[in-house]
Structure 1
Amino acid sequence: MSQHNEKNPHQHQSPLHDSSEAKPGMDSLAPEDGSHRPAAEPTPPGAQPTAPGSLKAPDTRNEKLNSLEDVRKGSENYALTTNQGVRIADDQNSLRAGNRGPTLLEDFILREKITHFDHERIPERIVHARGSAAHGYFQPYKSLSDITKADFLSDPNKITPVFVRFSTVQGGAGSADTVRDIRGFATKFYTEEGIFDLVGNNTPIFFIQDAHKFPDFVHAVKPEPHWAIPQGQSAHDTFWDYVSLQPETLHNVMWAMSDRGIPRSYRTMEGFGIHTFRLINAEGRQRLYVSTGNHWQVKPHSLG
């Protein structure tokens, strides 16, 4: 406890007079031997450090990321121009009639800047507005050439760059990440044969089967128009009215109302392609129908 100063009752003197006095609260309560940390397992040469506690940084570079370097250059060497390409010498001062005169309407740079400002709109996604994404790579454990002719699934040594986006569904871009909602799980594979998009969620089924019902479903899920709530989840009358009129939604509703609806993080949830995919091998034979899923070494955990 601090000591009372009798001369000035509004001042207190710290009882500590060492290095810890300048940084209160910074003393660690963790064991000094580091036993609270996961044991670092050695990473074999050429392998990625996926073991818990590994101190080796993963190699996140790939051909796709290298190809993006050209478009990541800044604008240091580019002149500021109008929409028609005319160079702008001054973007901070309007044309005036004399030093203290009024602003002139002939200042087309000012008019264009104000017009652009008045009309600039970045439309938000109707669904899946809030999300996070990351670059990575995909590498099959074994060759699947006997059931599919897809090149990126036929060679266990082939590394395919991917871009994955995780998201919530109902809420806007400023909604919370912890709401009870379905999570989006979309993966873009940059294969040598083209881009393969695998769109999915963290549930293996969906609320509806026919896309004709999708706009009506989204209208029921989104916030009430007269007070714009709820934000981020669907606990209101329009949603439950839709569920009562469309019994096919109940399967996915049960998933959403379970622990799967409040995952602890994107790392502790699973991803499913939802649809059934038909695989055809190089001989043109249809081998089987499959459903896709992404399952982590870390099992699903919820916030509950």
Structure 2
Amino acid sequence: MINTAITTASGIPVADNQNSLTAGPRGPVLLQDFHLIEKLQHFNRERIPERVVHAKGSGAYGTFTVTHDIRRYTKAELFSAIGQKTDVFVRFSTVGGERGSADTERDPRGFAVRFYTAQGNWDLVGNNTPMFFIKDGIKFPDFVHTQKRCPQTNLKSPTMMFDFWSKAPESLHQVTMLFSDRGTPDGYRHMDGFGSHTFSLINDAGERVYVKWHLKSRQGIRNLSAAEATRIAGTDPDYAQRDLFGAIAAGNFPQWDVKLQVATAAELAAWEQRTGWNPFDLTKVWPHKDFPLIPVGVMELNRNPLNYHAEVEQAALSPANIVPGMGYSPDKMLQARLFAYHDAQLYRVGTNHQHLPVNAPRCPFHNQQRDGAMAIHNGGAAQNYDTVAAAGSAPQGMGHGEPALELTGAAGRYDGRGQEDDYTQAGNLFRLMSPQAQQNLFDNLAGPLSQVSSEIIARQLAQFDQADPAYGAGVRAALKARGVVL
């Protein structure tokens, strides 16, 4: 008989496979959580040689130009003056499909931007949605496995997907976005981008504010109907790649307005007290009426890569790459990604992937790292160690000179899921849709839901009902139209 109890790869029983080990309920995540580390490390090594997620992508170069002064929030050099330009590289992608999959599949889209600043590379690694399916990185391998192929049939499985989602109310907000019209964007030029996570900015006085980054398409939002997306998948599976490359080659350079939402820790605490929403929860958004968008600059893509493999496939971005004047937040998903993305690139591209031209900073850099595969810049005869400051040092807070982040609470695995509101924001998103967009949502959901068990359907419908009774009723009607007996 197979033992179904979860253990580590060494056979050690896992006490909790739902929650990361954190310092207090909000974190940050502790490095001693070996189960989380082992789980993410193994997950990053499951595919050779393509990315585990975001395997199929398109890339282009361009510039970011500052249009508004945000120096009261950050000392980051790239925002020093109006009109200042910074070179960028952007990689767009689908998430769940393989390198040969279709560009028009119903899937979130990756939207990753590298800014080659004078202080090093800043990687804003996000999606075309402002929220995500889960709130704790320990569930990321589990979630992505449901979006990949069934280990028995090697087919995509609606049962796997909705079995996971129907038991995870936290996913409903993103599921609603995924099965809306925005789940099949019309190429990469006609969609917005989001940093998604909460990050922070630090000014010259050492004051921290928390921020969310937004990139708003100047081309306007355009989406494909479900039928059109399916048709294009069969006739031109590289549709988004062809559209982006062709537009830039023709001089039709796409642009995005770069904006941000800003809040102090005190403002977020007051907002949480009023709404009940954790501002660092990736399954939630900050409503614009509470935290208005502030303009920052404009990003333009104006140059295609010359070698796809060297410049797009080997591009290795990580949200851990921030520059002085920036910081992180206690977002549990962000904390996991800070480790997992760089680790994935070490495995997928190589130990010295930062030496490759697309990944190398365009400012002077120096460290004591030596040797390993692809050691293009290996330091020569320079000293490969740093001595101990025996008389003591004067550290400037955390990384990059940011102020220390106060932590509270005992280290433990904290699960607040049963007490958290996972329905209101999903309902708000549903109520923002036009009647036709709502009907499209019902029909898009009814397709895969009609292929799963009645038990899973009932669980998922119960989630729709809690978001908005009309949401559940609409999906029920669409299921019945497909002959599903409820």
Provide the C-alpha distance between the structure 2 equivalents of 1:135 and 1:151, rounded to a whole number of angstroms. Answer: 20
Instruction: Please identify the structure whose Cα radius of gyration is greater.
Output: 1
Matches of 2:65 and 2:154 in 1, distance apart?
A: 44
Aligned to 2:92: 166
Partner of 1:290: 211
> Following TM superposition, by how much is the alpha carbon of 1:157 offset from its aligned partner in structure 2, in angstroms?
2.4
Report the Cα distance in structure 1 between the residues aligned to 2:184 and 2:159, rounded to whole angstroms.
21
Name the SS for the 1:238 alignment partner. helix
Question: For structure 1, which segment, 181-190 or 292-301, has the greater mean C-alpha deviation from structure 2 after superposition?
Answer: 292-301
> Which residue number in structure 2 is paired with residue 156 of structure 1?
82
User: Which of 118, 126, 139 is the matching residue for 1:200?
Assistant: 126
Distance 1:221 1:122 in 2: 18
Question: Among residues 255, 261, 267, which one is paired with 2:177 in the alignment?
Answer: 255
Q: Which residue matches 1:40?
A: none
Question: 1: distance between equivalents of 2:152 and 2:141?
Answer: 19
- Deviation string, structure 1 residues 185-231 (Cα, Å, up to 9, x no partner): 0011110011111010000001111111111111111111222223x
Aligned to 2:196, what secondary structure does the other structure show? strand
Alignment partner of 1:301 out of 219, 222, 226: 222
Equivalent residues of 1:220, 1:238 under 8 A apart: yes
RMSD of aligned residue pairs (Cα, Å) = 1.4
Which amino acid counterpart does residue 278 of structure 1 have in structure 2?
S
The answer for unaligned runs of 5 or more in structure 1 is 1-120
Deviation at 1:247, TM superposition (A): 1.0
Which of 201, 206, 220 is the matching residue for 2:146? 220
Q: Structure 1-normalised TM-score? A: 0.57
Question: Which TM-score applies when normalising by structure 2?
Answer: 0.36
Q: Which amino acid aligns with 1:225?
A: P
1:271 maps to which of 193, 212, 232? 193
Moved beyond 4 Å, runs of 4+: none
**Correspondence for 2:162:** 240
Q: Which residue of 1 aligns with 2:108?
A: 182
Instruction: Provide the rounded CA distance (Å) in 2 between the counterparts of 1:220 and 1:179.
Output: 16
| Contact 1:148 1:154 (8 Å CA) reproduced | no
Question: Could you tell me how far apart the structure 2 residues matched to 1:153 and 1:184 are?
Answer: 25
Say if 1:186 and 1:198, in contact at 8 Å, map to a contact too.
yes
Deviates more, 1:147-156 or 1:121-130: 121-130
Shift of 1:122: 5.3
Which is further off, 160-169 or 218-227? 218-227
**Alpha-carbon distance in structure 1 between the residues aligned to 2:135 and 2:64:** 29
Residue of structure 1 equivalent to 2:63: 137
Partner of 2:51: 125
* Structure 1 residue 143 displacement after superposition: 2.0
Q: Which runs of 5+ in 2 are unaligned?
A: 1-46, 226-486
Shift, 1:154, TM fit: 2.4
SS of the residue corresponding to residue 126 of structure 1 reads coil
Q: Please say if residues 221 and 238 of structure 1, whose CA atoms lie closer than 8 Å, have aligned partners that are also in contact.
A: yes
Question: Identity rate of aligned residues, in percent?
Answer: 51
More helix by share: 2
Name the SS of the counterpart of 1:284 in structure 2. Answer: coil
